[in-house]
């Protein structure tokens, strides 16, 4: 018996951690040389935590030198010259200058970022010919108009469930539009397992190909809403090939 999807996901979580750790590991090196800036606003409020709900406990005045240590979403952990540590919002730090008088930029993610995105990770849910489907996908943009994508889908039906892996190439003819349509071609593999409470039939492994239409809709910050239609052709070992239609929608974040 194969491992259940839950166990696989647990392993994926640990793998993700290791990958992300190595990716962000390069930045850890830079921790020794923190960014130092001078406050030019009348004052900056320091919160005890990285959200507006946390209380303000200290105020940094104009002209004071602060060290920026780490970022969490839109909040920056700063240290004053008197060694007080707290969190300030990005908006308050935009006006700061570096020690040699240059402007600093604390990057905000906007629509411009959406147009220039390289990586996208997201999840979708929908209807896979009557079964509920869950999809996790990762996309890499070769150019703004051309992307490659790897996805894993779990379709959970009343009588059987399927695990499917796909790779595809997508064309985005209007990357500068807020609602950007795309079309894709891809192929993959599907493994179908009947539910145990039914009469036992054998598991099936089949290759498949698909064609897909959809649109990416930029919401705000790093968020994209995606909806798409997929038409799968499953090349079974039986006499007839199987055709499956899937509708799904979901969210993704880009980097």
Partner 1 sequence: MESRLFRLFLTGTYKTLFGLLVIISSNSQAAEPASNPLEKKTEQIILPELDRREIKQATVDADDFEIGGFAGVLSIEDFGVNAVYGARLAYHVTEDIFAEISAGQSKASETSFEVLSGGLQLLTEDERKLTYYNISLGYNLFAGESFFGKRAFNSDLYVIAGIGNTNFANSDHFTWNVGVGYRFIPRDWFTIHVDVRDHIFNSDILGADKQTHNLELTAGFTFFF
Handedness of CA 203, 208, 211, 216 (dihedral sign): positive
Q: Which is nearer to partner 1, 59 or 219 (CB)?
A: 219
Burial pattern 45-78, b for ≥16 Cβ within 10 A else e, equals: bbbeebeeeeeeebebeeeeebebeeeeebbbbb
Give yes or no for residue 6 binding partner 1 (CB under 8 A): yes
Q: Single out the residue of 44, 60, 66, 75 in contact with partner 1 (rule: CB under 8 A).
A: 75
Collapsed DSSP state (helix, strand, coil) of residue 239:
coil
Give yes or no for residue 1 binding partner 1 (CB under 8 A): yes
The rounded distance, in Å, linking the Cα atoms of 133 and 157 is 9
Positions in 113-172 near partner 1 (CB under 8 A): 123, 125, 132, 134, 136, 154, 156, 161
Instruction: State the binding string over 24-63 for partner 1 (x if CB under 8 A, else -).
Output: x--xx-xx---x-x----------xxxxxxxx--------
Positions in 210-229 near partner 1 (CB under 8 A): 221-223
Nearest distance from residue 177's CB to partner 1, in Å?
23
The rounded distance, in Å, linking the Cα atoms of 165 and 188 is 5
In contact, 87 and 76? CB cutoff 8 Å: yes
In contact, 49 and 36? CB cutoff 8 Å: no
In contact, 79 and 123? CB cutoff 8 Å: no
Q: Single out the residue of 22, 107, 202, 238 in contact with partner 1 (rule: CB under 8 A).
A: 107
Give yes or no for residue 13 binding partner 1 (CB under 8 A): yes
Residues that bind partner 1 (CB under 8 A): 1, 4-7, 9-10, 13-14, 16-17, 20-21, 24, 27-28, 30-31, 35, 37, 48-55, 68-77, 97-98, 101-107, 123, 125, 132, 134, 136, 154, 156, 161, 193, 195-197, 221-223, 251, 253
């Amino acid at each position: 018996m194969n491992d259940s999807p839950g166990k696989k996901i647990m392993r994926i979580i640990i793998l993700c951690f290791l990958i992300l750790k190595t990716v962000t590991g390069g930045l850890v090196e830079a921790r020794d040389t923190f960014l130092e800036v001078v406050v030019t606003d009348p004052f900056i409020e320091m919160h005890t935590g990285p959200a507006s709900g946390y209380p303000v406990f200290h105020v940094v005045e104009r002209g004071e030198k602060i060290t920026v240590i780490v970022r969490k979403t839109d909040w920056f952990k700063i240290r004053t010259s008197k060694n007080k540590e707290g969190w300030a919002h990005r908006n308050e730090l935009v006006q700061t200058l570096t020690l040699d008088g240059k402007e600093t930029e604390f990057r905000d993610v906007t629509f411009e970022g959406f147009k220039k995105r390289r990586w996208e990770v997201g999840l979708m849910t929908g209807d896979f010919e009557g079964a509920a489907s869950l999809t996790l996908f990762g996309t890499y943009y070769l150019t703004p108009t051309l992307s490659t994508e790897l996805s894993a889908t779990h379709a959970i039906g009343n009588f059987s469930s399927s695990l499917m892996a796909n790779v595809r190439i997508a064309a985005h003819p209007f990357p500068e539009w807020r609602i950007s349509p795309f079309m894709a071609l891809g192929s993959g593999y599907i493994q179908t397992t009947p539910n145990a409470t039914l009469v036992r039939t054998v598991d099936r492994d089949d290759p498949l190909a698909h064609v897909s239409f959809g649109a990416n809709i930029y919401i705000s910050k790093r968020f994209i809403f995606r909806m798409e239609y997929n038409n799968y052709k499953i090349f079974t070992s039986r006499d007839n090939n199987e055709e499956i239609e899937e509708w799904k929608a979901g969210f993704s974040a880009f980097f």
